[in-house]
Amino acid sequence: MNPSPHPLTAHASSDARLARTLRSIDYPATKDDLLRIAVVDHLEVKTIDAIHDLPARDYHGVAEVLKTLDGA
């Protein structure tokens, strides 16, 4: 039986995957673009849900998406 990952490690891993995914797309990107790549890259459901809750507009870079997600 494998032990569960430490919550902070799992969270950091999830954040790193999100950042890698966001760096892989061209900007400006729409909310739909962000959702599409999140699904294609098999990000966690909670991450996809958070992107789904973003305002529908153009995003101009990784930092803007992450800042908006932090405020969401």
Q: Is the pLDDT of residue 9 over 60?
A: no
Q: What pLDDT score was predicted for residue 13?
A: 78
Q: What is the DSSP letter of 2?
A: P
Q: Could you report the per-residue pLDDT of 23-34, keeping only the tens digit for each?
A: 999 999 999 999
Question: How far apart, in whole angstroms, are the C-alpha atoms of residue 45 and residue 50?
Answer: 9
Q: Is the pLDDT of residue 7 over 90?
A: no
Entry field: residues in the chain: 72
Q: Where are the domains of the chain?
A: 22-71
* C-alpha dist (Å) from residue 64 to 23, 28, 47, 59: 12, 10, 16, 6
